[in-house]
Structure 1
């Protein structure tokens, strides 16, 4: 986690940084700056901590953080006054933990139908795609079918993915669904089970149809 602390000049926050570093983990980086440098560095950090003496600027700073997709946290006045690095680190970790839980709960579940000739290769591929999606932070539910079952299994999916051997069925599927994306997997990607590339194309299609946000 990358933590940026801002105050009016950066002097008092430098003292707080030293206190926080005594309780930081190996993957926690902390830096202090003056408020004037915030626009330059904000996107490089996971969270911005605002010193209480510039709390009157908190709303403006928070707006910058929202635009940069960075979290914003106002340090408690008592904690800051005592330069309590331990309590500050605990509060930041708890804040980020709760934020992550909230984001996870609010994620949209992507429902995907995957079709191939007999269903055998798609069953193997679907597990790999679901696992790759999980690594990338997406909640993906995938059902795999033989293309012969397409007419009984086409409802309520966000995207319809076809193996290259059944690309000829794309127009049939388009006639069955309305305003949903169809993606035909590249032959080379399918043959080597390049799930990273396949998932990337699936996500791009979903974003173009505004089924998920980019």
Structure 2
């Protein structure tokens, strides 16, 4: 099972995205654990994480998060996909990134 963390300022908007991604995972028959967290909770949830996805509104934190999360990959979610809540596309891109790792 892959563990995906979604981070945003307070974890609110990403909570909606988690639901969309979980629905997509069920439809794709993919076994993943997806959790939304606020940026300040990273250290509490880092253990076992396979990839971290940042909401576009905190893209400026990418280097800081990458440094703290090494060697876990950190990606910024595309603004359009985030705005349209395209959970399937975001999930597919995260899984592809993990495959390429």
Length, aligned pairs only: 101
Q: 2:88 aligns with which of 182, 196, 210?
A: 196
Residue 144 of structure 1 is matched in structure 2 by 36
Equivalences for residues 5-84 of structure 1 within 5 A: none
Q: Is the 8 A contact 2:46 2:69 kept in 1?
A: yes
- Kindly state the Cα deviation for residue 153 of structure 1 after the two structures are TM-superposed: 2.7
Q: Counterparts of 1:179 and 1:208 in 2: how far apart (Å)?
A: 14
Q: Counterparts of 1:173 and 1:155 in 2: how far apart (Å)?
A: 14
Q: 1:124 aligns with which of 16, 20, 24?
A: 16
Cα deviations by residue, 1:64-107 (Å, 9 ceiling, x for unpaired): xxxxxxxxxxxxxxxxxxxxxxxxxxxxxxxxxxxxxxxxxxxx
Q: Counterparts of 2:10 and 2:82 in 1: how far apart (Å)?
A: 15
- Kindly state the Cα deviation for residue 199 of structure 1 after the two structures are TM-superposed: 1.3
Cα deviations by residue, 1:24-43 (Å, 9 ceiling, x for unpaired): xxxxxxxxxxxxxxxxxxxx
Superposition TM-score, scaled by structure 2 size:
0.90
Can you give the 5+ residue segments of structure 1 that lack an aligned partner in the other structure? 1-108, 210-214
Q: Counterparts of 2:88 and 2:44 in 1: how far apart (Å)?
A: 29
Residue 77 of structure 2 is matched in structure 1 by 185
Equivalences for residues 80-91 of structure 1 within 5 A: none
Can you give the 5+ residue segments of structure 2 that lack an aligned partner in the other structure? none
Q: Counterparts of 2:41 and 2:3 in 1: how far apart (Å)?
A: 17
- Kindly state the Cα deviation for residue 154 of structure 1 after the two structures are TM-superposed: 2.2
Residue 66 of structure 2 is matched in structure 1 by 174
Residue 53 of structure 2 is matched in structure 1 by 161
SS at the partner of 1:161? strand
SS at the partner of 1:188? helix
Q: Is the 8 A contact 1:154 1:176 kept in 2?
A: no
Runs of 4+ in 1 over 4 A off after TM superposition: none
Give the alignment's Cα RMSD to 1 decimal.
1.3
Superposition TM-score, scaled by structure 1 size:
0.45
